[in-house]
Amino acid sequence: MIILELFKKNRVCTHDKVRPDAELSYCPDCGELIKNQWFLTRCACCGVKLKATIKNGEIVPENHFCHNCGAKEFVVEALEKINFIDIDYAVLVKNIVKPSVEDKIQSWVDIKTCNYTQELLPQFL
């Protein structure tokens, strides 16, 4: 098993262990903050739900046409929360949330107890 992992070309974390019901959570494998987003595809003509899938990084319907009216156009709809009715039609996208870099860390030294000259500490990112 360990030998096979050495030969893998793509070592990007897929965040498989992140729970799909949580809006924000940390991935236990890589430690990144992950935001779950649900998307649904609908027919642009009649509005019927179409089963969604991800192909080449895009959210597209599984079939190339609507099973109700036969139209090929579709609309991607972002869902706030997933319902149990929509779970068969929706697709889950896990995005990494980048922290803001503007946070600053400061520290102070008490001059009375320590013989230390005051100066600014370097900030490491």
Instruction: Confirm if 92 and 25 have CB atoms less than 8 A apart.
Output: no
Predicted pLDDT at 111 = 67
d(Cα 57, Cα 34) in Å, to the nearest integer? 17
Convert the pLDDT of each residue in 31-61 to its tens digit.
Answer: 889 999 999 999 999 999 999 999 998 999 9
Instruction: Give this prediction's pTM.
Output: 0.67
> Which structure tokens are listed for 54?
């991800």
Residue 1 has pLDDT above 60, yes or no: no
Q: How confident is the model over 75-112, as pLDDT tens digits?
A: 999 998 888 899 999 999 999 988 766 666 666 667 67
Which residues have C-beta within 8 Å of that of residue 34, sequence separation ≥ 6? 15, 18, 24, 25, 26, 27, 94, 95, 96, 97
pLDDT at 89: 93
Distance from C-alpha of 51 to C-alpha of 61, rounded to nearest angstrom: 6
Give CA–CA dist 38/91, Å, rounded. Answer: 6
Amino acid, res. 45? C
pLDDT at residue 50 in the model: 93
